[in-house]
Structure 1
Amino acid sequence: MERFRIDVPSATPAEFVKVFGNVRFSVLTPCLLRVESGNFCDEPTQRVWGRAFDAPAYRCEKKGSEVNIITDKAHFTYNLRTRRMKRIILADGRNVKNFKKGNLKGTRRTLDGCNGAVPLEDGLVSRGGVSVMDDSRGLILRGDKIVSRPECSDKYFFAYGSEYRACIADFFKLCGQVPLLPRFALGNWWSRYKAYTQEEYLTLMRRFKAEGLPFTVATIDMDWHWVDVVKRFGPQAKPGKPTGMLDLFYNTSWPGWTGYSWNTDLFPDYRAMLKELKGMNYAVTLNLHPAMGVRFFEDMYEKVAARAGVDPSTKQRIPFSLANEKIVQAYFDDILRPYEKEGVDFWWIDWQQGKRSDVPGLDPLWALNHYQFLDQKDEGKRALILSRYAKEGSHRYPVGFSGDTAMTWASLKFQPYMTATATNVGYTWWSHDIGGHHFGYKDDELYIRWLQFGVFSPINRLHSTANEFMGKEPWKCSPAAEAVAKALLRLRHRLIPYLYSENYVTHTTGRALCEPMYYSYDCPEAYRAKGEYMFGGNLLVCPITEKTNKVTSLASADVWIPEGRWTDIFTGNVYTEGNYRVYRYMSKIPVFAREGTIIPMYKEGCDNSISMQNDLEVWIYRGNGEYVLYEDDGVSMDYEKGAYVRTHMSVTLSGNEAVFTVMPAGGDVSMLPKGRKINLLFRDIAEADVNVDGAETGRLSDGVSVEYTGVPVIVTLKNCVFTCNADYRESVTDVVSRYNMNNMLKQSLFSGALGSLTSKIYAPKALRGPIEELRRICTVRTARK
C-alpha cells in the first residue's frame, strides 16, 4: 500500500564506501562506521533509513588482513580474517577494544510485571567511548513491503567518545528524526482501566472542567468495545487456536481482549459522547489489542470478510495478519478510519502477545507502530500513537507506553532513571502509568510524588486499574493531597509553551526533554547522579522517591548541583556546585533553574485550552541566557510549510542591572494572537527601577506586563535588589518547630543550632539533615549580592 512506502536516500555515496572481498565499509561520519560482511544492503531497514547525511574526510589503508579507516575523530582497525573490529582509537587517545564496557544503557520494551529496578538494554553512548548497533537481523523496507533479509553481518560502530549529544543527533540522521508531537500530548492525560458508562465518563470529564483541572487527553481503555463476548455472542466468539503461551493466556482469560465494536450497553450513543468530548477540548484515544483478529460479531465483519475473501455466513474468524495486505488495509480503512472520522484522535496499541508473527522475523509490535504512524501521516495528521518500545528506531513512533507497573515506591524510584536513560537510544517520549497501575497500596504521598515526577516528565498520563478503590482523581485523596494534586495538574498545563518549545528542539536538533546529567557535564558526579536529569536545557529535576519521615514531615533526595548558581523554583533558595541531601515537604519537588533561565508559560492553568493563548507568563532568573518560544497550530503539518512563529527572548545581567529583551518574531508573524500580553516575573529580583522601551514605569512589584505584537520589547531593571536565601535562624526555627516529637527533647537537641552554623547536633541524621541543608545554602549565600 502506497501509504506505507518508505522513500528515503538510504545508500551511502560510493566515495565513502570501501569494499574488500565480501566486507564493505561505509564511512558515515568521522565517528560512525558501518561494517557489513556477507550480503550488502542499500535499502532502508526497520532501524536504519538513511546512510547519506555527511561528507566525512577519511583515508583507508590495508595492511595484510587489517583495514584501517582513519578520520580526524577516530581510527578504526578491522581484521578481515577474523571478521571483527580489532580496536578503535579515539581522538582523545583512548584505545578501545571492548565495545560493551562502560555502556550507559538504553531502555527496554516494557515494565509489565516489574516492581522496581530492572535491567535495561544497551544504549548508543558509553563511558568507554564506543558502542555498537547490530542491524544484521533488521528486515528490509522495500517500497511498501517488509521483506526478509539474506544472512549477513551489519554493524554500526559509534565512536563518539563523550560527545553523547552528537552521537544521538547522528543516530537520528541515520534512523529518522523524532516527530513533532501535537500540542495536546504535552498536557495532562486521563486514563483508567474501568468499564465506564457513557454518562459516567462524561460526568467525570465535565467535573474536571468544572473544577479547573486541565486534562487534554481522554483515554478510554478496552471496555469501549464488547468484552463479555462468549456470554453475549456464544462459544463461537472464542478466539482461535493459540500460537503460544501468551496467546493461550489471553484466549483463556480474556476472550474479549480484542474488539472493534462499541459496547452499546455502556455507550448507547458513542458518537454523541465523542462530539461532547471534542466540544470540551479533549483529544480522544481508544485502547486496541489486535491479536485475536476480527470475529463475526464485529460491526464491520462483513466488510473485512469481503476484503479477506471469507464468506461471512460461515462466521469464520479472520485472523490478525501482517502478511496479508488485504487484512492490513481492512484494519485501517474498515475498522479504524470510520472511528477517526467520528472523533477518535489516535490509538493506544496495547500489544502484549509476544514477538512472533506470520512474517518471519517481524515483531508485530514494531509493525503495528510503523503502520499506525504512517497511516496517520497519510491522512495529513500530526501522527501520534501510544505503544511499547520495539528496539532502536522506535523513536519515530511516539509516544512510548511503559506498561503496567506496580503501585510502589520501588517502581517510582526507577522511572526517573529509566526515562532519562532512554535518551541513549533516542527514545525521548516515554509515558508511564503515573501513580502506578495495580497492586501496591493506597498512599497519598506516593501519589503526589509520582504526580510531581509526571509533571516534570515527557508525558503526564494518570492511569490505574479496574479496582474501584484505585482511581487517581485528586478528590479521592485527603484534602491536603487533593490541593497539591490539583495545583500540580494546573502547573503541568501552564508549562505547555515551554514543553512545546522543547518538543520542537527535540524534533529539530535531537536534544531530549529529559537528559541524563552526563550529557551536559562530563565529570564523575554527573554519572553518579542517576536520580536527577535535565528537563530542557536549563532546568534540573530531582524527583523525591522516598517516604516522608514521620518526625520531620520531610522527605529527602540526594542531588548533585553543577557549577554556577541554581535557584529552586519552588522555594526560591539558591544552590551552588556540590552534592546535597535536600529535604522537601509533600507539596514541593526539587527543581533548579540555572542562572539566566527563561521559562515561558500559560498565564492561567485552570482551562484546558491549548491554543496560542493571548496571555503568557515568563519566569526569568537573573544571569545571561536566552530562549526561543516556538508556536504553531499544534495539530497539523503546516509548520513544514512555514506556518509557525519563533519568539526569541534573552536576559543579561551586568552588576545590578538586568535587561530582558523580546526580539522580533520569526516565521509567520500573522499567527501571533492579537493584543498578546506577556507578564514577566523576575523570580530572584526583589526590587528594581523598571524601564520599558525607554520609558520609566516605576518600581518592580508583581512583575512587568508588556504587550507583544512581534516587534522588539526591551525591559531594563536598574538598581536591582536580589532575593536572598531565607534567614538561617528563622528557617531552622520554622523547620524544627514542625518536628513531631517531645518538646523538651527538641529544645535540648536543637536550640544550640540556632545561633551557630558549625555547632555539632547530637541527633539522628534524619533529624539533623534538614538543618545541615540550611547550613549549606546559608553558607553559600547569606547576604544580597
Structure 2
Amino acid sequence: MTLRAYHRPDARPVAADAATVVGDDYRVTVLAPELLRVEFDPDGAFDDRATQTVWYRDQPVPEFSVDRGDEVVVDTGALELRYDPTDRGFTPETLAVEVRATATTWRYGETTALPGTARTLDTIDGRIDLERGLCSRDGLAVLDDTASLAFGDEWVEPRDRHDDYEDLYLFGYGHDYRGALQGISAIAGDTPLVPRFALGNWWSRYWEYTDESLRRTIDGFREHGVPLSVCVVDMDWHVVDNPNHDGWTGFTWNEALFPDPEATLDWLHEQGLATTLNLHPAQGVHPHEARYAALAEHVGVDPTTEVPIGFDAADTDFLSGYFEEVLHPLEEQGVDFWWVDWQQWRESPRMEGLDPLWALNHLHAFDRTRDGRRPFLLSRYSGVGSHRYPVGFSGDTASTWDSLAFQPPFTAAAATVGYGWWSHDIGGHWGASGSPEAFGELYARWVQYGLYSPVLRLHTSKMPYVDKRPWRYGRDVEAAATDALRHRHALLPYLYTMAHRAHESSVPLVEPLYVHQPEREEAYACPSAYYVGSDLLVAPHTRPRGEDTNLARQSVWLPPGDWYDFHTGEPVAGNRWHARYGDLDDVPVYLPAGAIVPLAPESDWGGVTVPDVLDLVVIPGEGVFDLYEDDGVSLDHRDGAFATTPIETTLDEDDETFTVRVGAATGDRSLVPDARDVSVLVRGVTETVVAASDREVESEYDQDSRTLRVDFGTLPTDESVELTVTADGPLRASREPVVERVRDLLWHFDAHGDAKPTVERLAIDDDLAWLTDFATVLSDAQIRALVETVHGVGADRLVDADADRLVLWNHDGRDDVTYRFSTWDRGIRHPTHGTSRSGVVPAFETIDLADYESRAWELVVTYGDVSVTVAES
C-alpha cells in the first residue's frame, strides 16, 4: 500500500527549456531575474524532479542573454553570472555573480547571508548558532539543495547523482529582502493560512491531567476572564505498557485518567477550544496499543505474533497505516491537530538522508488536507521549506532572562528563511525558580512578549511548584499577564489579516527592522525591536527591573517618520534611538502615522469566530487596511470563500482634517455578521478634536490614551460609513513634557525622598554640572536614566541573533557626554593593561562584541564629570 495522493505535492518541477543554459556538465536555470539555479554534474544527468525543498521551477521565463565565449556569461539585468567550464566544477575562480543592486560580486563558497533560524532551542539558555538565511547585506545568498531527496512515484527517494554533484539556488535580490522571501515561496510553495484558533492563547502543561483536573483548569481561565483558544494535552494522555519502552511513545488513551476521551474532547470543543495531543512516534507501535492489530494487518504482520511495528519514515506501508489506522481514529474522536514532539534526530535505516522530522512535518501537514482542512501541526523546524508546515515548536527552553532576551531576535531572524510561525514555550520549560516572587516578573515579561509573537503558547514542565496561570502570582504580575492575554484575543482581527498576508504575499508576521529599512545601519543594530504585521513595531522588555530605578529598560531605534505609543497615544520621534523605561505594565509598542489596527474587544472566549464588535484604532495619516475574514479552518478560502472590509484613512495637507472610511464587506458575506457594533478610536490627538459623520454617533475623549472614541452603534456590514475629525487647534497630540517623564522616573527611583524635588528641578537643565553634587545621592543607573530620558544620549548592550553588540547614540551632538571602551586579556583584571578607544559619544556607533569574545571589556560613559559603567564582560 502506498501513501495517498494528498500526501504528495502537486508540484511543477520542470523549468521551461527557454529558461535553461546547458553545457556538458553544468546547467543554469533562470527562475527570475534575481534567482538562479546552478548545477554541476560530471555525468551531465540533471534531475528535474521536485525535491524536499523545491517544487516549482516552472516559472515565467524572464528576459536574459547568454554569451558562450571562454566563459559562460548569463545576464538577467539584475545579475550577471560568469562560469568558466574548462576547470570542470565550481570554485571561487570559476563561478562568480555580480549583483547590480548592491554593486557587489559573489564568488562560489562565500557565505555572507544574514542569520536565519535553527532546528530547536532545546536545552538552550540564551543564544544558539543559527543557519544562514536567504537574505544578504552583500546582495546574494545561497540555498544548497544538493543533499535533498527527490519525490518519486510514491515517496521521496535518493537522487542518482555523481559524488561531485552540486545543486545551488542563488538568491541575488540585493536588499530587496521581501523579494527574496517571495522567491523562496515561488519555488518552494506558499505559507499556508493558519487556522484562526492558532492565533489565540494556548494552554499547555506537561502534567498528568485527569478529565476532572483538566476541566477544572480550563474553568479557572474562564472564571478569571482569561481567554483561551487551544488546549494542549502533553505526553501523559496515553498509556505506557511495555518494559522495553521508555514512556515517550504512545497512541492509546490512558482511561485511568480519561475514562471517556470523546466526552473530554467534546467538552473542550464546547468551550471553544481546539485540542492537540503530543506524539513521540520514534519507537513505533507496540502490541499493547489499541490500534496495533489494525496496523499490523495493514502492513502485513500477523497480529498474534505481537511483534512491535517499528517506525520508519521510508516505509510507505507503515506511514500510510500510521495515519489511517492509528491517528485518524483519534481525530475522529475529536483531536484537531497534532504536536509532533520529535527530537530523536535518527535517520531512516532504509534511506540515507531522510530526516524523520521532515517526513513527519510534511505528512502531518498534508494529511489534514484530505478533508479540506488547512496544513497545520506543531513541530520543530526541519530546514528551508518548513514554512509550508506551520507552526514551529522551538523546544524546551530555559526559564531565564537570557533565554527570553534571545527569543525576539531569534524569531525575527527566521523571516530571512520565510519561516514566520515560531511557537515558544512562553515562560520557558525548565529551570524556573520555585518562588512566585522570584519568577513572577520574568513570567509577566514573557507573556507580554508572547502577546506580540507569532503564537502565544503558555507552557510548563512537570514541576509542581511552577505554574503559568496568571492568578497564581501576585497582584501586579497577575494584572500584567492577564492584560496581555486578553489583549491577544482582542488583536485577532489584525493578526488574522496579517496571517492571510503571509499566505498571499510571503510576508512573515514578524520581521526584523532591516527588512523595512535595509539601507539604515541602525536597523541592523536594533535586534530588540521588530515589526508585527504592517502597523505594529514592538520592543518588548526582556530584562528585569533595575534595583535602583525599579524600572525595566529597553533601547529601540524608530525608523524615520511620525510614531505614536500604541497604548498612550503619545507622539514619539522617529529616526532616532530611545531608551524606554517602564514599570511592569509597560509594553513598548509603536504605531506609525496612518496605522489602522482592528480589535475585537468582546471576541468569543475561544477566539475562533468572526467578531460582531470591532474597535478600529487609527492614527492620523494616510492608511489602508483590508480586514480579512473567512471560516477560520478550511481550505475554502483558496476558492474565494472569504470576505474583506476595506478601511481607509486620509489626512489633508494642512493636518487639520482626518477622515476614516469603513467600506462595506465584499466577497462571501455569509462569513461575516449582518451587522456589527463599530467604534473608531482616533489615537494620538488633542482633546479639542471634534467628530462628524452622516450617521448619529457618540464620542468621548480619553486623556490617558490621547484617544477620541467614536461609537457608531450597530452598523450593517453591507454599508459603508465615513468619519471626519477636526480640531479647534492642533489635531495631533503633543509629547509629554520632559518634566513629567522625569517625575515618573523619580517616583520609581529608590532614592531619598527629600532629594527628589531638587533633582526634578535640576534634571531638565541643559548643563550636566549638577550631577557632580548628586553623584552620592543618585546611583549610576539613576543618573543614566535621567540623562538618557532628558537629553537623548545613551548606550546599551543589545542581544542579537549572532552576537551581542554595544550601541551608542547622541542625536543632539552633546560634547559633555563621553565614552571609553576598554579591552584587556582575561585574568589581568584591569583595563589600563589593555587597549581602549574613547571620545565624545558619537551620533551613532556600534561595537560588535563577537570581536572581543576572548577578551575582557567594559564600556564607561561619563556624563559631565560623573562616570558610569554601562556594560562589561
Which of the five TM-score ranges fits, normalised by the shorter chain?
over 0.9
Instruction: State the SS of the aligned residue for 2:251.
Output: coil
Alpha-carbon distance in 2 for matches of 1:256, 1:59? 61
1:439 is aligned to: 431
1:327 aligns to 2:318 (yes or no): yes
Specify every segment of 5 or more residues in structure 1 that has no aligned partner in the other structure, as ranges: 240-254, 781-785
CA-based RMSD of the aligned residues comes to 2.1
**Matching residue's letter, 1:614:** D
1:75 is aligned to: 80
Question: Given that residues 181 and 417 in structure 2 are in contact (C-alpha distance below 8 angstroms), is that contact kept between their aligned partners in structure 1?
Answer: yes
Shift of 1:732: 1.9
Instruction: State the SS of the aligned residue for 2:688.
Output: strand
Shift of 1:475: 1.3
Alpha-carbon distance in 2 for matches of 1:310, 1:699? 73
2:726 is aligned to: 718
Alpha-carbon distance in 2 for matches of 1:269, 1:205? 17
The C-alpha deviation readout for 1:139-177, integer Å capped at 9, x for no partner, is 111243111111231111111111110011011001010
**Matching residue's letter, 1:507:** H
Alpha-carbon distance in 2 for matches of 1:426, 1:713? 37
Q: Equivalent pairs: percent with the same residue?
A: 37
Alpha-carbon distance in 2 for matches of 1:367, 1:210? 41
What is the count of residue pairs matched by the alignment? Answer: 758
The C-alpha deviation readout for 1:722-759, integer Å capped at 9, x for no partner, is 32222332332233023222223445544412566977
Which one of 227, 231, 238 corresponds to residue 218 of structure 1? Answer: 231
2:49 is aligned to: 43
Alignment of 1:251-400 (within 5 A): 255-358=246-349, 359-400=351-392
2:804 is aligned to: none
Q: Mean Cα displacement is larger for which, 730-739 or 260-269?
A: 730-739
Q: Mean Cα displacement is larger for which, 767-776 or 677-686?
A: 767-776
The C-alpha deviation readout for 1:181-215, integer Å capped at 9, x for no partner, is 00000000000111111100011111212222111
**Matching residue's letter, 1:365:** L
Shift of 1:5: 2.7
Alpha-carbon distance in 2 for matches of 1:506, 1:764? 47
Instruction: State the SS of the aligned residue for 1:703.
Output: strand
**Matching residue's letter, 1:684:** G
Alpha-carbon distance in 1 for matches of 2:672, 2:489? 20
Shift of 1:538: 2.0
Question: Given that residues 643 and 668 in structure 2 are in contact (C-alpha distance below 8 angstroms), is that contact kept between their aligned partners in structure 1?
Answer: yes
Instruction: State the SS of the aligned residue for 1:722.
Output: coil
Alignment of 1:343-742 (within 5 A): 343-358=334-349, 359-442=351-434, 443-522=439-518, 523-576=520-573, 577-604=575-602, 607-654=605-652, 655-685=655-685, 686-693=687-694, 703-706=709-712, 707-719=715-727, 721-742=731-752
Alpha-carbon distance in 2 for matches of 1:208, 1:320? 38
The C-alpha deviation readout for 1:598-648, integer Å capped at 9, x for no partner, is 000102268234211111111111111111110001011111221111111
Alpha-carbon distance in 2 for matches of 1:479, 1:640? 46
1:118 is aligned to: 128
Question: Given that residues 539 and 588 in structure 2 are in contact (C-alpha distance below 8 angstroms), is that contact kept between their aligned partners in structure 1?
Answer: yes
Q: Mean Cα displacement is larger for which, 408-417 or 50-59?
A: 50-59
Q: Mean Cα displacement is larger for which, 747-756 or 482-491?
A: 747-756
Instruction: State the SS of the aligned residue for 1:741.
Output: coil
Which one of 136, 144, 167 corresponds to residue 154 of structure 2? Answer: 144
Which one of 130, 140, 149 corresponds to residue 140 of structure 2? Answer: 130
Instruction: State the SS of the aligned residue for 1:185.
Output: helix
Alpha-carbon distance in 1 for matches of 2:307, 2:584? 57
Distance 1:751 1:689, change over 3 A: closer
Question: Given that residues 729 and 755 in structure 1 are in contact (C-alpha distance below 8 angstroms), is that contact kept between their aligned partners in structure 2?
Answer: no
Distance 1:342 1:757, change over 3 A: farther
Shift of 1:760: 4.9
Question: Given that residues 649 and 660 in structure 1 are in contact (C-alpha distance below 8 angstroms), is that contact kept between their aligned partners in structure 2?
Answer: yes
Q: Mean Cα displacement is larger for which, 275-284 or 569-578?
A: 569-578
Shift of 1:444: 0.8
Shift of 1:777: 8.1
**Matching residue's letter, 2:532:** F
Alpha-carbon distance in 2 for matches of 1:285, 1:256? 19
Q: Mean Cα displacement is larger for which, 78-87 or 690-699?
A: 690-699
Distance 1:46 1:699, change over 3 A: closer
1:88 is aligned to: 97
Shift of 1:575: 1.5
Alpha-carbon distance in 2 for matches of 1:127, 1:770? 34
Alpha-carbon distance in 2 for matches of 1:210, 1:606? 15
TM-score scaled by structure 1?
0.93
Shift of 1:663: 2.4
**Matching residue's letter, 1:649:** I
Distance 1:397 1:698, change over 3 A: closer
2:783 is aligned to: 768
Question: Given that residues 400 and 432 in structure 2 are in contact (C-alpha distance below 8 angstroms), is that contact kept between their aligned partners in structure 1?
Answer: yes
Distance 1:716 1:300, change over 3 A: same
Q: Mean Cα displacement is larger for which, 745-754 or 526-535?
A: 745-754
Question: Given that residues 739 and 760 in structure 2 are in contact (C-alpha distance below 8 angstroms), is that contact kept between their aligned partners in structure 1?
Answer: no
Distance 1:643 1:212, change over 3 A: same
Question: Given that residues 431 and 458 in structure 1 are in contact (C-alpha distance below 8 angstroms), is that contact kept between their aligned partners in structure 2?
Answer: yes
Alpha-carbon distance in 2 for matches of 1:416, 1:700? 35
1:19 is aligned to: 22
TM-score scaled by structure 2?
0.84
1:246 is aligned to: none
Q: Mean Cα displacement is larger for which, 299-308 or 414-423?
A: 299-308
Distance 1:757 1:463, change over 3 A: farther
Q: Mean Cα displacement is larger for which, 283-292 or 189-198?
A: 189-198
Alpha-carbon distance in 2 for matches of 1:734, 1:440? 31
The C-alpha deviation readout for 1:634-668, integer Å capped at 9, x for no partner, is 01111122111111111111222100111233312
**Matching residue's letter, 2:58:** A
**Matching residue's letter, 1:491:** H
**Matching residue's letter, 2:83:** Y
Alpha-carbon distance in 2 for matches of 1:770, 1:538? 29
1:199 is aligned to: 212
1:743 is aligned to: 753
1:31 aligns to 2:39 (yes or no): no
Instruction: State the SS of the aligned residue for 2:725.
Output: strand
Alpha-carbon distance in 2 for matches of 1:427, 1:699? 42
**Matching residue's letter, 2:256:** D
Shift of 1:528: 0.8
Shift of 1:695: 7.0
1:158 is aligned to: 171
Question: Given that residues 179 and 507 in structure 1 are in contact (C-alpha distance below 8 angstroms), is that contact kept between their aligned partners in structure 2?
Answer: yes
Instruction: State the SS of the aligned residue for 2:449.
Output: helix
Alpha-carbon distance in 2 for matches of 1:402, 1:292? 22
Instruction: State the SS of the aligned residue for 1:616.
Output: strand
**Matching residue's letter, 1:320:** F
Instruction: State the SS of the aligned residue for 1:123.
Output: strand
Shift of 1:526: 0.6
Alpha-carbon distance in 1 for matches of 2:153, 2:694? 57
Alpha-carbon distance in 2 for matches of 1:222, 1:704? 49
Shift of 1:326: 2.2
Alpha-carbon distance in 2 for matches of 1:542, 1:698? 32
Alpha-carbon distance in 2 for matches of 1:740, 1:283? 47
Shift of 1:311: 2.2
Alpha-carbon distance in 2 for matches of 1:279, 1:734? 46
Specify every segment of 5 or more residues in structure 2 that has no aligned partner in the other structure, as ranges: 703-707, 794-809, 812-873
Distance 1:698 1:533, change over 3 A: closer
Distance 1:568 1:758, change over 3 A: farther
Shift of 1:118: 1.1
